[in-house]
Structures are given as C-alpha cells and as structure tokens.
Amino acid sequence: MTMTAVTEEIKTEKAAAKSSSGKTLWLLAPGVLWMLLFLVLPLAMMLYVSFWTQTTFKIEPTLTLKSWITFFTSDTYLGALWTTVRIWLIVLAATVVVGYPAALFVGLFVKNKTLQTVLLVLCVIPFWTSFLIRVLAWRPMLGKEGAINMILMKIGIISQPIEVLLFSELSVIIGMTQIYCVFMVGPIAFMLGRIDPSIIEAAKDLGAGFWRIFRTIILPLSMPGVVVGAIFVSVMVLGEFATSAALSGRKVNLLGNIIVTQVGSLKWAFAAVAGVVLTILMGAVVAALLRVVDLRKEL
C-alpha cells in the first residue's frame, strides 16, 4: 500500500521533472539554434575557408596551406599582427591608467548616491552618439588646424602646430582610449562601490595611511572590476578597424583592417586566415583573463 503510494509519488515527480526539462529545452532551442547557425557556423566556415585555394578573384574548395604560409611569411601580415598586439596593450594600459582614478572617485569617494548615479550616467551619455561619429569627432580635435593645436598655440606653449597628433599611431591610441575607457570605469566603480566602508574605517582607526589602505584593501578588492573591464576593452580593441581607418590615414593597419582590405579585393582565403589568427589571439586573451575572474559569479 505504502509502497505503491511511494512509487506513484516518484512517478509523478519524474514526470514533472521530465515535462519541466522538456519545457526548458523548448525555451532554449530557438536561442541556441540561432547562435549555432549564425555564430558558430560562420566562424567554423571561416576556419574551413582559410584552407581553401585562393585564385585571383575566386576561392576553390581544394584544401591547401598556401594562405597560411603566405600570412606567416609576409611582412605586411606579421606587421599587422604585431601592430594589433601593440595597440591593444597600449590602449589597455591607457584605459586602466585614465579610468581608474575616475572610478576611484565615483565608486569610493562620492558618498551621495544621487551624485554617483549622475556621474556614471554622464560617463555613459556619449554612447548615445553613433560610434563612427565619435571616432570622426577626433579629426577636428587633433588635426593640424584642430582645436588642441589652436589652443596650445594661443596660450603660447607651442609655436608650430604638432602634426603627429593626427593621422598617426598616437591619434588611434587617443581615440580608442577615449571611446573604450568607460568600459573600464564602469566595472571598477561597481566593484569599489561594493567595498564595505567599515573595513576602510577599521584600517584608518588602526593608523593606516591612504596609500597603505589603497594598496592592501582597495586595489585587491577592485581587481575583479579591472579584469572584467580588461575583457571588454580587449575584445573591442582587438576587433577594431574603424578607428584606425578614420584616424591613422592608413598608417596603422590592424588585423581588422587587413580583413577589410582583403575582402575588398575578394581575397577571401587570406581574409579568413587573418580572421582565424585574430580569433585565436582573442580567445587566448579572454581565456587568460577569465582564469583570473569568474565572469558568471561577478554578475
């Protein structure tokens, strides 16, 4: 009697679990399918095509390593790879250096919640302008007759306009730092805001100076924010090509620019090789950063 009741119960429970897992499957299926078809398949195709044979205007599905050999023996491509890594590292460092103090102020020193929100919103507002317009906005700033040169000449710091400001690697770095540093400020400020003020109070009461508190409490506790910010910035900078196209005057060629020019001249296989190299680079960077922090836990 009791046995049958128990088995009945188990049966219904199993049925409920089955129907709920079936429901989960149906809820997930569209999204997962979409991602498999339109994200995983294209990336797999890119990897596949990178081994195809490139003729002048066409690609043929005969497998070869030729495009890969061309990539790793050509100074242009290797140079682009190196430029990408260099610009990425510089911009990453610049966003931390430029963004951290601002995040420190917003996240830790501003106690008024309203002011804190206002400051964060002020940081985000520029994102409501088109990305391309924000990139382009640096041209009248940095140019030979641009705002910065004009101001510097007016106050007499320089007598000749600084020409290296625009259409150089420097202008690309300045532009990228301005566009991406907010992705650093946000996560850092978020982590700093979560620090329990009583810890800092306690350290103060025990006689620790600001630098000591910063080094032993604030910096370690804000590190997850820095890492999350670094993931955002890295992913975006590594995939960039518009900023360098707009601000470098074709002097800076990132892997992204290589892909765009190769596609433009129908060299699909070469573009695919550059794409795969970029994917591997990005995957390595993100994997290394994710080792430091669990993204899902921080959300």
Partner 1 sequence: MNASGIKFGLGVYTTLFLVFLYGPLVVLAILSFQTGPEGGPQFPIIEWSTYWYKHLFGLTPPSRIAPLPIDQGLGRSMLLAMMTMVVSTILGVTAAQAFRRRFTGSGVVFYLIVLGMMVPGVLVGLGMALVANTLGIERHWWGTAFVLHVVYTFPFAFLVMLAIFNRFDSSVEEASWSLGVSPARTFRKITFPLIFPGVLSAMLFAFTLSYDEFSRTLFASGRDLTLPLAIYGTFSVEVHPNVFAFGVLTTLFSFALLSVYAVLMGLSVRRAKRIAVQEEA
Give the footprint of partner 1 on residues 222-261 (CB under 8 A): 235-236, 238-242, 245-246, 256, 259-260
What minimum distance in Å lies between the beta carbon of 13 and partner 1? 15
Q: For partner 1, which is the closer residue by CB, 6 or 122?
A: 122
Return the CA Rg of the chain: 26
Stretch that binds partner 1, among 7-15, 71-79, 83-91, 102-110 (CB under 8 A): 102-110
- Centroid of chain to Cα 269: 26
Stretch that binds partner 1, among 4-12, 17-25, 86-94, 157-165 (CB under 8 A): 17-25
Query: Using H for helix, E for strand and C for coil, what is the string for 221-274?
Result: HHHHHHHHHHHHHHHHHHCCCHHHHHHCCCCCCCHHHHHHHHHHCCCHHHHHHH
Residues 6+ apart with CB under 8 A from 195: 108, 217, 218, 221, 222
Does residue 123 belong to the site contacting partner 1 (CB under 8 A)? yes
Q: For partner 1, which is the closer residue by CB, 99 or 229?
A: 99
What minimum distance in Å lies between the beta carbon of 262 and partner 1? 9
Does residue 137 belong to the site contacting partner 1 (CB under 8 A)? yes
* Ramachandran sector of residue 249 (left: φ over 0; alpha: ψ -120 to 50; beta: rest): left
Does residue 139 belong to the site contacting partner 1 (CB under 8 A)? yes
- Give Cα separations from 223 to 3, 90, 99, 109, 117 (angstroms): 56, 19, 13, 18, 22
In this structure, are residues 46 and 276 in contact, taking their beta carbons and an 8 Å threshold? yes
Does residue 34 belong to the site contacting partner 1 (CB under 8 A)? yes
Does residue 42 belong to the site contacting partner 1 (CB under 8 A)? yes
Q: For partner 1, which is the closer residue by CB, 5 or 133?
A: 133
The kind and range of the H/E element at 149 are helix 147-154
Backbone angles phi, psi at 60, to 5 degrees: -120, 140
In the list 56, 57, 112, 128, the residue contacting partner 1 (rule: CB under 8 A) is: 128
Does residue 286 belong to the site contacting partner 1 (CB under 8 A)? yes
Please name which of 277, 263, 264, 267 lies closest in space to residue 52, comparing C-alpha atoms. 267
Does residue 35 belong to the site contacting partner 1 (CB under 8 A)? yes
Q: For partner 1, which is the closer residue by CB, 81 or 246?
A: 246
In this structure, are residues 116 and 106 in contact, taking their beta carbons and an 8 Å threshold? yes
Q: For partner 1, which is the closer residue by CB, 7 or 249?
A: 249
Stretch that binds partner 1, among 7-15, 42-50, 72-80, 87-95 (CB under 8 A): 42-50
Over the window 147 to 186, marking each residue x when it contacts partner 1 by CB under 8 A and - when it does not, the resulting string is x--x---------------------------x---x----
Stretch that binds partner 1, among 5-13, 19-27, 63-71, 156-164 (CB under 8 A): 19-27
